[in-house]
Amino acid sequence: MAEGEPRVYEIRTHGYPTAQEALALQDPIERLLCPDPDHAPPCEIPWSFTLAGGDDDAPTALVLGVYTSSVRAARVADRVRVLVGETRTVTVSEGEAGEWEELVEQYRFERGLGSVGNGRGQ
C-alpha cells in the first residue's frame, strides 16, 4: 500500500493545565520516535515540538510536528495515545508547512535533496 507523499502533520496531546506539564511529555515521546538519539542520519521521521493554547486559562496542548506520510503520522499518533493513556485526547491533523519549515528542510537535507538542516530530529 502506498503511503503517499510526506506532509507536515500535527499530533496534539490536549488538556494540560500548565505548559510545564505538557513539556514533561517531550522526553517520553522523543524516545518513542528516536530510541537511539546518536543514530546516523536520516531520522525516520523528522519531528519537533511546540505548545498551543495555555492562554486565558485555556488548557495547554503539546504539539508534535512530524514530516511524513498520513499513514505514518497516524501510526505515531497511535503510539502517543498508548503512551499517554486514556487520560488525554490525542488528535492528528495536517499542519501548515510554513509553520514547520525546519521539518521540511531537515527531510530534504537528510535525503540529499538540497537546502540546509541540522541533521537531527529536533
| Each residue's pLDDT expressed in tens, for the chain with a length of 122 residues | 456 789 999 999 998 888 898 899 999 999 888 888 787 777 788 899 999 886 666 788 999 999 999 999 999 999 999 999 888 899 999 999 888 988 888 888 877 765 444 444 44
pTM of this structure:
0.81
* CA distance readout (Å), 43 to 7, 86, 113, 122: 15, 29, 15, 10
Residue 76 · residue 44 · CB < 8 Å: no
